[in-house]
Structure 1
Amino acid sequence: MENTEYRRNITVQYCFPDNNASCRKEVQAGPAYIFLFIILSCISVCTVFLNLLVIISISHFKQLHTPTNLLIRSLAAADLLVGLFVMPVNIMQLIDSCWYLGEMACSVIPLISFLAMVASIFSLVLIAVDRYIAVCDPLLYHTRVTVSNMSICLTLGWFSCLIYDTIFLYFNNHLTPAQLHTTCYGECVLVIKHPWLVADVVISFVIPCSVILVLYSLIFNVARHQAKAIRAVINGASHIKNISGSHQTKAAKKLGTIILVYLACYIPYSLNSISTESLTTASMVWPLFTWILYINSSVNPLLYSLFYVWFRASVKYIVTCRIFESSSSRFTLYSEHS
């Protein structure tokens, strides 16, 4: 019995063997975890690659410099943060219980994670507003919604999201290394207080989603009226007159699908957040629902490839390295009337 206990003790591993306050090390090395590691790593790499394609496309080709595409680029930037920083760290924590990146990274990574999520929903709200104005008041859209105005709005919006996330983490004692409450060295656990969970769900999910759903209900109501008007038109000139509205309606439906997919991925995370007294990243429920949310960052570029001709054309130019040609920024990716 004593020999068995002795063998058990000598097999205990620590994250930092030279540190007396080190946490115990638990490595998940079974076949199932190895397979999970490979799959999640591939998802992370694909997320980074696909969203980089979106960002490069919209940034490089002048034909894509429109207010709506700036919003798509903003959403892709948030998704890129998820694939580049958030996913790899979460994969590491699923396989190895130790935190090797230091106390500063323990504070910064959650900040990036929450910034990406809040910036995503902010971009989706602006997309809904953009489509509402384009469909319901196209004359106002072309005079008020410009590339420069949208750039300013996105800059202020991302800065506001950063301020909100800083306040959120500060009051949950996770903003600076001095605030971290760890039981041993090599641990990084974020514990969110229940009142802040509820407040965050309301501020970053319920209110934005309510705005999005109201705006899109109005958009599709207008779309039905436009469809009836187009069917009732016999005169060819009147039909041409309504092509712009029909085009805007199709764009609204495409972006509406992206928003619905996002909500489907976000709802499980939000419901779990408000159903627990406090949420800790050490629980098993947290990785499940957060990964459902993270995978949305991989899905969005795939939706672009299905919906947008310009994305497929730009990817072809990027992959074949034709963007390095001197006049590539002025390539025509799609017909203006298609």
Structure 2
Amino acid sequence: MQNKSETDDHLYTIQYCFPHINSSCIKDFQPDARNIILYIFISGISFLTVFLNLLVIISISHFKQLHTPTNLLILSLAVADMLVGLIVMPVQGIKLIDSCWYFGDTFCKIFPYFLYVVVTASLGNLVFISVDRYVAVNDPLRYPTRVTNNITVFFILIIWLASFIFCNIILNQATPNTDKSQVCYGDCRFAIKFEYFITDFIFTFIGPCSVILSLYLKIFYIAKKQAQNLNSATEKKACLNDKAARTIGIVVIVYLLTYIPYYIAAFILPKESNEKVINIMYWIACLNSCMNPIIYAMFYRWFRITVKHILTLRICEPLSEYFNLLPDNEV
């Protein structure tokens, strides 16, 4: 009887990703209540990320008054963030809870490319947003002619194309064959050689973040200097530009705070013991995609107004795209 009890306990604690397949991987055992709580949390954050970024996308796409270079870059960033909430968060969340891959070999090969492209494009958008704000503050008179919507759309296409090409090069060189990396059925791992990881770290994190931070230091220095030589006619516009720069600056800071722990874990922890921790850190990094629209809601009055129009269905009214959202010429 005692042996049977021990066997039952053993069978209870060992769970398989695919119970009907002999070569199935073993799940990370967690109490049912804990799994339910984690699934509810991950589903809720994923839904919130998609919903909030969709509000940003609809707002900027629909209302003509928001068709500015800065907002088009914010729109591109919101698209990347929505894709993170729609695909990356749920997939990474399931891997984190069960340590199982339920999505097949084909998606296992595609997912790393999708993940890297979206993350790289997000940072690329932040770089160009920083450049846009720098030009607006440093050369406000020529800004409308130097930075137009058409030019901005061109650079957005460049951002996404460059992200795809760079990530394709990195992952083609660094990702091992799926069959070789699979130790059991229900496993999906992709490993990047250390030298390629360093290359990716430099070109998609250190380099862009250095550019962003240096530009924002210049922006705040120029804004402070200009504030001392303003007359009443230009003071209001300068304040609005400064507010916009500060808002995007907060977006950048949140990005850094959410992604730095991931890189620290990847560098410091031993390779054989870092997979679980890195998955946790990467999912935390994904929370950045949920934070951006919350920041917009806190600092951009136009976003609060458009959300109200969308949720009350005023957006369906005739000529709603021409609503005046910025009565005070807010940026």
Shared fold, TM over 0.5: yes
In 2: Cα distance, 1:29 partner to 1:111 partner: 33
Q: Distance in 2 between matches of 1:53 and 1:305?
A: 11
Structure 1 runs not aligned, ≥5 long:
231-237
Letter of the structure 2 residue corresponding to residue 323 of structure 1:
I
- CA offsets, 1:287-319, max 9 Å, x none? 221122111111111100011111011101111
**CA separation of 1:6 and 1:36: change in aligned 2, threshold 3 A:** closer
Aligned to 2:280: 288
Query: More deviation in 283-292 or 298-307?
Result: 283-292
Residues 195-241 of structure 1, C-alpha deviation per residue, up to 9 Å, x if partnerless?
222221111111001101111111111111112123xxxxxxx3203
- 276 and 197 in structure 1: CA distance in 2 versus 1, 3 angstrom threshold: farther
| Pairing 1:194–2:194 present | yes
Q: Secondary structure at the match of 2:228?
A: helix
Aligned residue type for 2:244: A
1 CA distance for matches of 2:21 and 2:32? 28
Q: In the superposition, relative to structure 1, how do residues 168 and 276 fare at CA in structure 2: closer, same or farther (>3 Å)?
A: farther
CA contact (8 A) 1:194 1:277 kept: no
Partners in 2 of 1:10 and 1:84 — Cα distance? 35
The answer for the alignment partner of 1:235 in structure 2 is none
Inter-partner Cα distance in structure 1 for 2:246 and 2:219: 9
Instruction: Pick the aligned partner of 2:65 from 63, 66, 78.
Output: 63
The corresponding residue for 2:30 is: 28
How far did 1:30 drift? Answer: 3.8
1:95 CA drift (Å): 2.5
Q: Which is worse superposed, 14-23 or 192-201?
A: 14-23
1:125–1:20 Cα change, 3 Å: same
Per the alignment, in what secondary structure is the counterpart of residue 171 of structure 1? helix
**Alpha-carbon separation, structure 1, partners of 2:106 and 2:328:** 49
| CA apart distance, 1:261 | 1.3
Name the amino acid aligned to 2:187.
E
Counterpart residue identity of residue 297, structure 1: S
Partner SS, residue 30 of structure 2: coil
Q: 1:244 aligns with which of 237, 242, 248?
A: 237
CA deviation digits over 1:120-142, x for unaligned, max 9? 11111001100000000113311
Letter of the 2:267 partner, please give it. I
Name the stretch that deviates more: 85-94 or 34-43. Answer: 34-43
Paired AA for residue 77 in structure 1: V
Structure 1: distance between partners of 2:10 and 2:263: 41
Tell me, yes or no, if structure 1 residue 328 matches structure 2 residue 330: no
| Larger displacement relative to structure 2 (150-159 or 321-330) | 321-330
For residues 10 and 276 of structure 1, the distance between their equivalents in structure 2, rounded to whole angstroms, comes to 32
Conserved in 2, the CA contact under 8 Å of 1:63 and 1:330? yes
Q: Name the structure 2 match of 1:117.
A: 119
Deviation at 1:150, TM superposition (A): 0.4
- The answer on whether the counterparts of 1:71 and 1:126 sit within 8 Å (CA) in structure 2 is yes
| Equivalent runs, 1:156-195 vs 2, <5 Å | 156-173=158-175, 177=178, 181-195=181-195
CA distance in 1, matches of 2:126, 2:19: 47
Identical-residue share of aligned pairs (%)? 44
Equivalent residue, structure 1, for 2:260: 267
The residue type equivalent to 1:151 in the other structure is V
Give secondary structure in 2 for the equivalent of 1:189: coil
- Contact 2:178 2:189 (8 Å CA) reproduced: no
For 1:167 and 1:199, how far apart are their aligned partners in 2?
Answer: 11
Residues 252-287 of structure 1 show CA distances to partners (whole Å, capped at 9, x for unaligned) of 11111111111111111122223356488x722112
Q: 1 CA distance for matches of 2:63 and 2:324?
A: 8
In the other structure, the counterpart of 1:143 is 145
Check conservation: 2:227, 2:235, Cα contact below 8 A: no
CA–CA separation in structure 1 for the residues paired with 2:237 and 2:83 = 35
Matched, 1:217 2:217: yes
Distance in 1 (alpha carbons) for counterparts of 2:175 and 2:255 = 29
- Alpha-carbon distance in 2 for matches of 1:54, 1:172: 35
* CA 171–5 in structure 1, closer or farther in 2 if over 3 Å, else same: farther
Q: Which runs of 5+ in 2 are unaligned?
A: none
Does the 8 A contact of 1:14 with 1:25 survive in 2? yes
Deviation of 1:188 after TM superposition, in Å, equals 1.0
Q: TM-score, normalised on structure 1?
A: 0.90
CA distance in structure 2 between the aligned counterparts of 1:320 and 1:91, rounded to whole angstroms = 33
How far, CA to CA, are the matches of 2:301 and 2:65 in structure 1? 13
Shift of 1:177: 4.7
Query: 2:38·2:97 contact (CA, 8 Å) conserved in 1?
Result: no
- Preserved CA contact (<8 Å) 1:27 1:97: no
Q: How much has 1:18 moved relative to structure 2?
A: 4.0
Q: Which amino acid aligns with 1:283?
A: E
Which stretch shifts more, 267-276 or 87-96? Answer: 267-276
Structure 1 counterpart SS, 2:24: coil
